[in-house]
Amino acid sequence: MDTSVLPAGLPPEPATSRASLSAEGRKRLFPDATDAEWADWRWQQRHAVRGMAQLERYVPLTADERAGVQETSALFRIGISPYYLSLIDPEHPFCPVRMQSIPVRAEARIRPGELADPLGEDKTRPEECIVHKYPDRVLFLALDTCSVYCRHCTRRRITQGGVAELSKEQLRRGVDYVRRHPEVRDVLISGGDPFMLSDSRLEELLAPLSEIPHVEMIRIGTRVPVCLPMRVTDSLAKTLRRYAPVFVVTHFNHPKEVTPEAREACERLVDHGVPVENQAVLMRQLNSDARIIKELSHLLLRSRVRPYYLHQMDVAEGCEHLRTPIAKGLEIIEQLRGHTTGLAVPHLAVDLPGGGGKVTLQPDYAVEYGARETVFRNYKGERYAYPEPEETDCTCPYEGVWQAQARTYGYRKG
């Protein structure tokens, strides 16, 4: 392997070390599973771990985890695919996969400031499956099912329920809502995890949405490439490509999750013309370190996945033990900027509690503002002056002409 082209700061990847994670876990936990069964996402779902008795057969729980399973049972369900379970370190309670999938006692405690609906979605929910919070885009909640129920889930009020795909009537009402609102150009399908739908059910949603003239793009939020990569089949990838532009937004939080299987799933999507971006969530003692985020970004870029957002943890009930101070996220971004390629530096995003919407933060590099120049500091702390121009008229004289021509020349849908 040519190590001269590897991103700076990341050692060469051993040929077998990452491959052994899931392979060794599978051999240890599911020795009787055939290759065909292991590669079948429906088999994975049928054999998911969903309770204390099953979990204790596979992982020696700590007292804190045992209490967490018991005390959160009525609050938020457990579900861990065999594949994701195979990545858990049975010896270390701070294994990042373990922390995301097995509850601890702190999760049962609701702290001041935590909210059942931390993003204020329910008050902007005109239909059961539609959240319309931003002017030009809607969130389409397709189902309440996931391959793994993440302990940091911001939408646990929805995914705590029973297995429920959209009914045909709900689907129709959701699509009709989008059709009636010409300001909507972007539809984000989420849930639950939309990739838990069969290809045909997913197509029943993609097809009518893509036919709406004012819908310019569709995004799908999914953790399947991370937790159930065998679900990403050629058939699924071809279905998504048929309704391009479709963007997949996935959710890797730690380098340990970027296994050969996960990388293959992401690359299969990209190879079929489906762009993939990643939104990580910053979690205390799990990935709250610039070195970890840097390694994660580099591994994702190797698989042609763009590190897009680093999310500050939402104030969902039972999640404070995982939240970091805002200052920690800014510190991480500052430690990345200038020390790795810009593509590897995600946007630090905060979804304001109660429905204020998403804002992004970055370290303040401007030191002094003046009429003639603005003074900045760079990533080394050195000062540089940027001379301000004499002319400040920023109107765009051609804009009226272009607005008239854009549709004629095919730059707009419809």
What is the tens place of the pLDDT at every residue in 343-363? Answer: 999 999 999 999 999 999 999
351 by DSSP, 3-state: which?
Answer: strand
Task: With a cut of 60, say whether residue 3 has pLDDT above it.
Answer: no
Give CATH 3.20.20.70 domain extents, the chain: 128-359
Residue 278, beta-bridge partner list: 250, 307
83 by DSSP, 3-state: which?
Answer: helix
Task: With a cut of 80, say whether residue 146 has pLDDT above it.
Answer: yes
List C-alpha distances in Å: 102 to 76, 89, 105, 109. Answer: 11, 12, 10, 15
| Nearest-angstrom CA–CA distance, 251 and 145 | 16
Task: With a cut of 90, say whether residue 2 has pLDDT above it.
Answer: no
Task: With a cut of 60, say whether residue 228 has pLDDT above it.
Answer: yes
List C-alpha distances in Å: 8 to 292, 294, 296, 298, 407. Answer: 14, 10, 13, 9, 45
| Nearest-angstrom CA–CA distance, 12 and 4 | 9
Task: With a cut of 60, say whether residue 97 has pLDDT above it.
Answer: yes
- pLDDT band of 165, cuts 50, 70, 90: low
Which positions make up the binding site? 146, 150, 153
CA atoms within 13 A on the CB side of 154: 23
The reported pLDDT for the residue numbered 4 is 34
Other Cβ atoms less than 10 A from the Cβ of 311: the count is: 23
The reported pLDDT for the residue numbered 333 is 98
- 297-309: average pLDDT: 98
For the stretch 49-65, pLDDT in tens is 999 999 999 999 999 99
330 by DSSP, 3-state: which?
Answer: helix
The reported pLDDT for the residue numbered 160 is 59
- 206-235: average pLDDT: 98
Q: Which of 333, 366, 356, 409 is nearest to 118 (CA)?
A: 356
Architecture of the domain whose range is 128-359? Alpha-Beta Barrel (3.20)
Task: With a cut of 90, say whether residue 18 has pLDDT above it.
Answer: no
Packed helices 234-242 and 260-271: angle between N→C axes, nearest 10 degrees: 30
The reported pLDDT for the residue numbered 168 is 83
Which positions make up the binding site for [4Fe-4S] cluster? 146, 150, 153
Which range is least confidently modeled, 92-106, 110-124, 211-225, 246-260? 110-124
The reported pLDDT for the residue numbered 381 is 95
| Nearest-angstrom CA–CA distance, 294 and 336 | 7
**Mean pLDDT, rounded, of the chain:** 92
| Cβ(303)–Cβ(266) below 8 Å | yes
| Nearest-angstrom CA–CA distance, 406 and 346 | 32
200 by DSSP, 3-state: which?
Answer: helix
Q: How far is CA 74 from the centre of its chain?
A: 26
- 397-413: average pLDDT: 84
- 96-118: average pLDDT: 96
Contacts of the segment 235-239: beta carbons below 8 A, 24+ positions apart: 235/199, 236/195, 236/199, 236/202, 237/268, 237/269, 237/271, 237/272, 237/274, 238/272, 239/199, 239/202, 239/203, 239/206
Instruction: Give ∠ CA 36-39-45 in degrees, rounded to 5.
Output: 110
Task: With a cut of 90, say whether residue 10 has pLDDT above it.
Answer: no
